[in-house]
Amino acid sequence: MHTADLIEPFASAVKDPAGPVRQWKAARGGKAVGFLLTDVPEEMIHAAGFFPFGITGGSIGLEKTDAHLQTWACSYARSCLALALGGELDFLDGLIIPQSCDTTRMLPGIWSHVSPLPYLDHFRLPRQVDRPSARRYLIAELERLQKGLEQFSGRPIEQDHLKRSIVLYNRNRALFRALFDLHAQDPSLISNRDLYTLIRGAMVMPRERVNGLLAALVGELKGRLKAEGEAEHLRLVLSGTLLEPVETLDFIDEWGGAVVGDDLQNGCRYIEADVPEAGGTLEALADRQLNRIPSAAYDIQKRPRRGFLADLAREKRAQGVIFLHLKFCEPENFDYYDNLQAMEKAGVPAMRIETQFGGASLGQLRTRVHAFLEMIGGEGR
Amino acid sequence: MTERNAFKTAELMKEMMARYYAAGKESISKGIPVAWVTAVFPVEIIYAAGLFPYYPENFGAVAAARKVADRLSAVAEARGYAHDLCGYARCGIGDAYATEHPIGEILKPDVLFCCNTQCGSLLKWFEVAGRFYKAPFFLLDAPQVGFETDGLCKRYFVEQLHELIEFIEKLTGNRFDYDRLSAVLALSNEACRLWNEILETAALKPAPFGFFDACFHMAPIVTWRGTAEAVDYYRALKEEVEERIEKGIHAIPGERYKIYFDHIPCWPKLRWFSELFASHGALVAVSQYTHSWAYSFDLEHPLESLAESYTHEFVNRCFDYRVQRKINFMQKYGIDGFVLFSNRSCKPNAFGLYDKRRLISERTGLPGVVFEADMSDLRFFSEAQVLAKLDPFFEQLSSD
C-alpha cells in the first residue's frame, strides 16, 4: 500500500471519530470507555475488554455548555462536554476523567449530572512525582481504578491480558516514535499534518489495527529515506497542552518546516515513555506515568519542564519554539513566562499563539506562523 | 458590619496584624527561616518546627481589599502572566517584580510549602515563586476525596507528612519535636473551637454576627492557628459576641432573612455587598469558606489527624459531597435563600456552581442565584450585572 492509503483510515477517523468505535461495537457487542487526554492507563481499559476512546475535543456547539461550565473555562473541557450534550458521544458506556488540573478536578461532578453514564471514574493522579510516596499512592489508585473497571465489566482483569495490552501499547508507541524520527529526518516523507493526524486518529481506533497500519507505514517510509542523510528544512518544537487547531500544522507544512519535538498531550507526551514489561503490572503502569515528560500539570523537580524544553530544542537542533496555548489553561499560563525565559537563555527564538477549541481565526494564525518562520530563517516554498 | 456596629475586637486585630508583620521582619534578622504556606496547610508542623509561616494568600486578600489588585496584577501581566490566573497569585507575582509596593513588600520566602487541598493555582503560583526567589519548594499533595472516603488520600498524606518532617529536619538541622507539635495542635483545637462557636451564633434570630463579620475576623484563624495569640483573640471576640447577644446588638438592623453565601467574598466590594444585603434585611449568615477552619485534632494520633483534617476539607471533596454540605449548612442555619459567587479567580469553587444551584433549589425548595465577578480584580466586576442577578433574587425572597 502507498503512504496515502495507509494514512487515509486515520484521517477518516479524525473526521468521524465515532466511526471505528461504532463498527467495533456492532461487530463485537462490546462496550466503549472514553477518556479525556491523556493521563489515563489505556492499557487497563483495553485489558478489561473495553474499547478505549480518547475524546479529542470538538469545535462546534460549545455554547451548549454555557449553562454548566463557565465561558472562561478551558475550551477543551467545554468542547468535550459539548460533544456529550450534543449526543455525539452516545456510543460511550463509560468515561474516565484524569484529574490533572482544577478544571478536570471539577468536571466529573458536572458530567455525572448533565450527561450520566453507567460508569464514570475520576483518576486522581498525584501532582508531585518526585518523592517515593507518589509512586506508592499511584499504585494504590491504579488498583482502585482497576477494581472499578472490573466491577463494570463483571469480570477480573487477567494479568496475562494486561501484560498483552501493555505490549500492544508499547509497540504502538515505538512505531509512533519511529515515524516521528523519520519525519524529523525528512519531512517530505510524511508531513506535519499527517504525522499528528496519525496520533489523533489512533486515539479513536482499535489499537491492533493501528499497529498494523503503522508498521506498514514505517516500512514504506524507511524505503524512501534518502541515503545521503537529512534533508534541509526548518526545525521546530511545539509546546503546550493540546495541539489545536490542527491547521497550525498546515501552515508549518506550507513553509517547509518540520516539527521535530513537542511536549503535547496529543503529541510526544502520548508516545514517549513505555510501560516496563517486566514485574508487576500496576507498578509498571505507575512507572510509565511518573516517567512521562513534564507538562504544566506535572512539573517534575528532577526534570524541570524549562530544562526539558531547552534540552529538547538543543538535542533536536530546533531553530524555533512555538508555544501553542489554550486560552484559560491556568497551569500553562503559570509556566509560560519561565519557559520563555529558558528559551531566551538557550538562544532559541520563541512565539506564543493563544488558541481555543471552536474559535481560532485561521487567517490570522497563518500570517503569524509564517511571519515567525520567516523571521527564524525559513525560505518558504 | 456597618461602621456603627464595628467590633471593639477589631482594634486588637490591627495590633496583632502589626505584630505579625513585625515578627516576619524580625525572623529575617534572627535567621529564622520564612516559610511560605497556603491557607489550608498543616501549619501546626511549621509552628512546631520553629519556622515563621507567611501567608501570601493573605497578602493577595489585603491587596484586593485595598483595591490595588489591578495595579499589582498589571506588573505580572506585563511579564506575560495572563489575567485569567488566580487574582491572589497575580498580586504576589506582580509584587515580586514591582518597584512600588502599595501595601508593603511581600515577605520573601526561604522555603515554600504548598498544600493543594484548595486548588492547583496555589501549586503553580508557589512553583513560580520558588523559581523567582530561588528557594526550595515542597508540595503536600492532596488528591480529591470522594463522597465516601476510601483512605487512599489519607494514607498518602500521612506518608508525605513524614517526608515533610524529614525535609524540615534537613533544612533546620534540628530534630522535629513531637511534644511541641502536641502543644501547637492543642492551641489550634482551642482556636478552632472558639471560632466555630462564634460562627454558630449566626444561627440565632436575629444574629449578633454574620458572614461579613467573619470575613473581617478570620485572619487570625488562618494565620495564627496553632498559637496562643489566636486563642486569646477568639476568646476576646467570643466575649464581645456574647455581650452583644445580652445587649441585643445585631449584625444587621431588622434581620428578616438568612442567606447562605458561597464562597470567598469579593474583597474590594465587601462593604458594598454587606450594605446591599443589609438593605434588604438579609443577613448573610454562613458560608463554607469561613467554616473551613474547624479542625479538631486527635493529639494521640497527630499525623493521621492532620492528614484527615487537611485532605477532607470541603474544597477537596467531590461535587455531590459539596452540594450536600451546603444543604446541611442551610438547614442548620435556617437559611431562606442562597447566593453563589462564580469567582473567576477560583476555578475549583466556581466550576459546577450552575448545576449546584439547580440541584440545591430542587432539593430544598430555596431560591438561589449565581453571580459572576472576581474576588480581587475589579476589572471583572460590574455592579449592574451583579444587581441584575441579585435584585430578582431579593424580590423572590420577599414574595416567598
pLDDT digits (tens, 9 = 90+) for A248-278: 999 999 999 999 999 999 999 999 999 999 9
Give the closest-approach CA distance of B338 to chain A in angstroms.
Answer: 18
Contact A333 B355 (CB under 8 A): no
Task: Determine, for residues B354 and A68 on separate chains, whether the beta-carbon distance falls below 8 Å.
Answer: yes
pLDDT attached to residue B2: 46
The residue of chain B with its CA nearest to that of A66 is B354
Q: What would the DSSP string read from start to end of A300-337?
A: -SSS-HHHHHHHHHHHTT-SEEEEEEETT-HHHHHHHH
The number of folded domains in chain B is 2
For B371, counting Cβ atoms within 10 Å of its Cβ (0-12 exposed, 13-18 middle, 19+ buried), the class is: buried
Residue A245: cis peptide before it, omega within 30 degrees of 0? yes
CB A173 within 8 A of CB A271: yes
Contacts of A202 (CB under 8 A, 6+ apart): A10, A172, A176, A210, A214
Rounded to whole angstroms, the Cα distance separating A46 from A61 reads 30
- Shared domain check, B226 and B129: no
Among the partner-chain residues A67, A131, A334, the one whose CB lies closest to the CB of B354 is A67
Interface test with chain B among A69, A99, A128, by most B beta carbons within 10 Å: A128
- Return the SS3 of A256: coil
Interface test with A, best of B131, B159, B347 (most A CBs within 10 A): B347
The DSSP code sequence of B318-343 is: -HHHHHHHHHHHHHHTT-SEEEEEEE
SS3 B274: helix
CATH number at residue B345: 3.40.50.11900
* pLDDT (average), residues A363-378: 92
Tell me if the domain spanning A31-157 has CATH number 3.40.50.11890.
yes
Let me know: does B257 contact B336? Beta carbons within 8 Å. yes
User: For residue B1, what pLDDT is reported?
Assistant: 44
Listed residues B179, B211, B244: the one ending a domain = B179
In A301-360, the residues whose Cβ lies within 8 Å of chain B are: 301, 327-328, 330-331, 333-338, 340, 352
Which residues pair with residue B342 across a beta bridge?
B372
Q: Residue B394's pLDDT is what?
A: 97
Instruction: Enter the C-alpha cell of residue B183.
Output: 502543644
Q: Using the beta-carbon criterion (under 8 Å), do A336 and B143 form an inter-chain contact? A: no
Share of chain A above pLDDT 90, in %: 91
Q: Where in chain A is the domain with CATH 3.40.50.11900?
A: 233-381
**pLDDT value at residue A227:** 67
Domain range for B30: 3-179
The minimal CB distance from B125 to the residues A112, A124, A334 is found for: A334
Q: Kindly indicate the confidence band of residue A344, based on its pLDDT and cuts at 50, 70 and 90.
A: very high
- CA distance to B142, B182, B215, per residue, from B48 (Å): 22, 8, 27
Quote the CA–CA distance of B104 and B24 in Å, as a whole number.
12
Q: Which three cell numbers stand for residue B93?
A: 507575582
Write down the mean pLDDT value for chain A. Answer: 95
Architecture of domain A233-381: 3-Layer(aba) Sandwich (3.40)
Residues B139 and B214 in one domain: no
Over 60: is that where the pLDDT of A380 sits?
no
Neighbours of B391 (CB within 10 A): 13
Chain centroid to CA A51: how far? 17
Query: In terms of Cα–Cα distance, which of B42, B292, B313, B311 is closest to B155?
Result: B311
Residues of chain B under the 70 pLDDT cut: 1-5, 400
Cα distance between residue A85 and residue A78, in whole Å = 10
Chain A residues whose beta carbon lies within 8 Å of the beta carbon of residue B163? 131-133
pLDDT of residue A299 exceeding 90 = no
Compute the count of residue pairs across chains A and B with CB atoms less than 8 Å apart.
Answer: 134
- Would you call A231 helix, strand, or coil by DSSP? coil
Domain boundary among B151, B179, B207: B179
Both B364 and B322 in one domain: the answer is yes
Is the ipTM higher than 0.90? The answer is: yes
Q: Write the pLDDT tens digit of every residue in B194-248.
A: 999 999 999 999 999 999 999 999 999 998 999 999 999 999 999 999 999 999 9
Is A378's pLDDT higher than 80? Answer: no
Question: How many Å apart are CA B293 and CA B195, to the nearest integer?
Answer: 8
Report the C-alpha gap between A33 and A41 in whole angstroms.
12
Q: How many other CB atoms are there within 10 angstroms of residue A183's CB atom?
A: 22
Please report the pLDDT score of residue A228 as a whole number: 61
Number of Cβ within a 10 Å radius of residue A279: 9
B255-282 pLDDT, tens digit each:
999 999 998 999 999 999 999 999 999 9
Exposure of A27 in the CB half-sphere (CA atoms within 13 A): 8
Q: Count the Cβ atoms, other than its own, within 10 Å of residue B86.
A: 29
- CATH of residue B171: 3.40.50.11890
Q: Residues of A with CB below 8 A from B124's CB?
A: 296, 330-331, 334-335
**Measured in Å, how far apart are chain A's first and last C-alpha atoms?**
29
Task: Please indicate if any CB of chain B lies within 8 Å of the CB of A109.
Answer: yes
Residues B296 and B350 in one domain: yes
**pTM to 2 decimal places:** 0.96
DSSP state of B145: B
Alpha helices in B280-318 (DSSP H): 302-311
Contact B160 A114 (CB under 8 A): no
pLDDT (tens digit per residue) in A89-117: 999 999 999 999 999 999 999 999 999 99
3-state secondary structure labels for all residues of A270-306: HHCCCCCCCCCHHHHHHHHHHHCCCCCCCCCCCCCHH
C-alpha B167/C-alpha B161 separation (Å) is: 10
CA B360/CA B327 separation, integer angstroms: 7
**Same structural domain, B79 and B51:** yes
Q: How confident is the model over A4-36, as pLDDT tens digits?
A: 999 999 999 999 999 999 999 999 999 999 999
Q: What is the pLDDT of residue A230?
A: 59
Beta-bridge partners for B346: none
User: What is the amino acid identity at position A44?
Assistant: M
Q: Which of B127, B143, B347 sits opposite A330 (nearest CB)?
A: B347
Q: Cite the residue boundaries of each domain of chain A with CATH code 3.40.50.11890.
A: 31-157
Residues of B in contact with A107 (CB under 8 A): 351
Please indicate, yes or no, whether residues B173 and B203 belong to a single structural domain of this protein. Answer: no
- How far apart, in whole angstroms, are the C-alpha atoms of residue B115 and residue B46? 13
The 10s digit of each residue's pLDDT in A198-257 is: 999 999 999 999 999 999 999 999 999 886 655 678 999 999 999 999 999 999 999 999
